[in-house]
Amino acid sequence: MQLSWNWPLLALIFALGGRCVEFSLAGIYTVHNADAGMECDSIVPVNAVLTFFHQRFISEANEKLEAYGMSLTTQIADSCDDPSVTLQKLVPILGQSKNRCEASIGVNGTNSLLAVTGAFSSDIGDNVNYLLQAFCIPVIESVSSSLSLDDPTRYPYFVRTSPSDIFRTQAIVDLLQSQHFVHVSVIYDGSDFGSSMYTQFKTLIDGCKTPGGIFQMPCVEGAYEVDFRKKTTMSKVEQQLLELKTGLNTTSVKVIVIFMNPEAAQLLFFYLTFWGYKKGDFIYIFAHQHDLLSELTEFSFAVIDHLEPYQEANKILQEDQDTILTLIPNRYMRELIMSENACCLDLDQDCGYSMQCSGDERLDNLTDYDLKQIRTVYNAINLVAHSLIGIHKKMCPTDQLGEDCETMAKNLTGKMLLEQMMRTTFTDEDGHEFKLYNRSARPSFDIVQMQDGYWMPVLLDYDPFIGPQPNPNLSEVRYPPNWDEIQEENRECQAFCHEKIVVPRGVCCWKCQECPGPHMYIEKPMQGSPMPELLSGRGAQRLLQRVCS
């Protein structure tokens, strides 16, 4: 998929005797998902739009790069949310490209793959990284925040323009502590995102207990895996759902932490509604902003990336479909226009609709979440472009306008590009600065709450290393009608039993009972922390005998 050139500048380059060295920056996007077990089934609207802006940002980057005798070309592949399909699409893109592990890869007539960016899950990311790191080709991911990709020994050529989930998990723990939610349950899916987030969550709450219980860490009463992925058998899903339903019906927990992908969360809330749960029965804590069509999410919280939305996107997409498709030909945008308007652009081609498009069709307005996704793509492509300019200035300081640098073209390796990206800083069109924090974006999050069907910010730009910052543009936290009951449940869950019997209930909580008899002493006071193993079974009886004796 080739892009338009800046012809006036290109003509000047050739007039001055220069040549333009091309590098290929491929894009992998999950444009279609695998609904009902079918590969490449229904279109994912926001990701189709991301491919359009990927091409647009490449074109804009070339306006900067051409002054240095360089340009970017691109090819885009649809992962179809399937690792094997992704590899099938990626291998032809890799083509005859030589590896970038060593210098002198040659430049004559070649357009070697320089890097890959895009929007895909961490499960897809595993395969993409393992293949490309054999060729020392960097992967710059836009949306996958899974902490499993943080290990530079396993993924030495991976960076991303979103924060790592390792810091998102800390922000969730901080949120729970700030609201005094010490008694929670967790629901997670079987994806890399869900399982790794839950593992990190357990690590944090188990490893961060303070002496004397000054700050109470959350205690997980129940952890339920519900894996809706197509590789999971229906019988296993039914068993997981039964365990979840039984657990929710028999627990006093009022706060549930959700570590699930959007599609899985949507299915989960279908079942919660079917089981008869109502708004306010639970407060849910989401690790991402889910646009769920469920009133059950009212009063719930979500921890989302702090990003400046790419505000120009809706204005660009308000052009009629003919203008959009003329500016940048894109088959995924053609499909999206037909899908959202239920019409065919060409009745002679294979199309599931009977009505001919008029040419005046518009795309649906993008949400704030969509605009932030576009920003991550913008940051990824500009990170590569500005890094190339930085390398050019170091290796070719005396080159004239538009003169290609043969030394750079021959000696540019994947390691050089990776190291330069980790040092590069650039400013976007609104004056906001972007740079990597280690190998990810700066760990900054917004905490939002669902209020009257809308996600409203209650804390902005929260960095777990710095803490909350004052901001006048925040909404007040709203509490459900049963807020007193929720507070009381968390307050009484881990009571301090002074000269009383500790009576276990569940995994996390206990209650206090007066000791019988006149002679009582406490050998070891109970502190406000999760119930130790000593309190279960026979251990509890032995403890009670020591406490009341």
pLDDT at 96: 67
pLDDT value of position 287? 92
Mind listing the pLDDT tens digit for each residue in 445-463? 999 999 998 899 999 999 9
One fold for both 17-163+310-328+365-441 and 165-308+444-462?
yes
For position 320, what pLDDT does the model report?
64
Q: Distance between CA 138 and CA 275 in Å, rounded? A: 46
Contact 405, 69 (CB under 8 A): yes
Question: Which pLDDT belongs to residue 403?
Answer: 67
Among the listed residues 149, 260, 252, 165, the one whose alpha carbon sits nearest the alpha carbon of residue 203 = 165
Numbers of helices and strands, H then E, in the chain: 16, 18
pLDDT lower than 50: segments of the chain:
1-17, 36, 107-109, 211-212, 520-546, 549
Q: Domain ranges in the chain? A: 17-163+310-328+365-441, 165-308+444-462, 492-547
- CA dihedral 241→245→251→255, nearest 10 degrees, is 70
User: How far, in Å, are 378, 386, 433, 434 from residue 427 at the CA level?
Assistant: 11, 10, 4, 6
What is the spatial distance between Cα 258 and Cα 472, in angstroms, rounded to a whole number? 29
Rounded Cα distance between 263 and 265, Å, is: 5
Furthest-apart CA atoms within the chain: distance in Å: 103
Give the CATH superfamily of 165-308+444-462: Response regulator (3.40.50.2300)
Give the pLDDT of residue 173.
Answer: 94
DSSP category for residue 356:
B
Report the distance separating Cα 478 and Cα 297, nearest Å: 13
Mean pLDDT (the chain, rounded)? 83
Long-range contact set of residues 128-133: C-beta below 8 Å, sequence gap at least 24: 128/28, 128/86, 128/90, 129/155, 129/157, 129/158, 131/87, 131/90, 131/91, 131/94, 132/90, 132/94, 132/157, 133/157, 133/158
d(CA 180, CA 483): 12
Phi and psi angles of residue 285, each rounded to the nearest 5 degrees, phi first: -115, 115
**DSSP-based three-state secondary structure for 237:** helix
| Strand ranges, E, within 211-300 | 219-225, 255-259, 283-286
Name the pTM for this structure: 0.84
Q: For residue 480, count other CB atoms closer than 10 A to its CB.
A: 17
Let me know: does 435 contact 427? Beta carbons within 8 Å.
no
Whole-number pLDDT of residue 128: 92
Residues 357, 345 contacting (CB under 8 angstroms): yes
pLDDT at 549: 47
Compute the distance between CA of residue 109 and CA of residue 132 in angstroms, rounded to an integer. Answer: 22
Reading the block at residue 144, the tokens are: 């996958």
- The number of angstroms, rounded, from the C-alpha of 100 to the middle of its chain's C-alpha atoms is 28
Please give the angle made by the CA atoms of 134, 138 and 142, to the nearest 5 degrees: 130
Per-residue model confidence (pLDDT) at position 15: 42
Which amino acid, one-letter code, is at 64? K
Amino acid at 37: G
518 Cβ contact partners less than 8 Å away, ≥ 6 residues apart: none
Pairwise CA distance, residues 378 & 143, whole Å: 12
Sheet with 183-188, edge to edge strand ranges: 219-225, 183-188, 255-259, 283-286, 301-305, 445-451, 454-462
- How much of the chain, in percent, has pLDDT values that exceed 70? 83
Contact partners, residue 181, CB within 8 Å, separation at least 6: 218, 255, 283, 285, 490
Q: In this structure, are strands 425-427 and 433-437 parallel, antiparallel, or unpaired?
A: antiparallel
CA 472 to chain centre: 27
Distance in angstroms (rounded) separating the CA atoms of residues 182 and 493: 8
Starting at the edge strand that comes first in sequence, how are the strands of the sheet with 425-427 ordered?
425-427, 433-437, 440-441
Q: Which fold does the domain 17-163+310-328+365-441 belong to in CATH?
A: Rossmann fold (3.40.50)
Of 71, 257, 249, 116, nearest in space to 182 by CA: 257
Which two tokens mark 219?
A: 């205690």
Q: Residue 101: how many CB atoms within 10 A of its CB?
A: 14
pLDDT at site 345: 85
Q: Nearest 5°: phi and psi at 26?
A: -80, 160
| Cα(344)–Cα(423) distance, integer angstroms | 47
- Count of Cβ atoms closer than 10 Å to residue 395 Cβ: 15
Distances (CA, A) of 278 to 29, 211, 270, 415, 462: 36, 39, 12, 53, 31
pLDDT of residue 398: 78
Question: pLDDT at position 285, please?
Answer: 97
Alpha helices in 396-506 (DSSP H): 406-411, 414-421, 483-493
Count CB neighbours of 347 within 10 A.
Answer: 12
298 contact partners, CB below 8 Å, separation of at least 6: 279, 280, 450, 451, 452, 453, 480
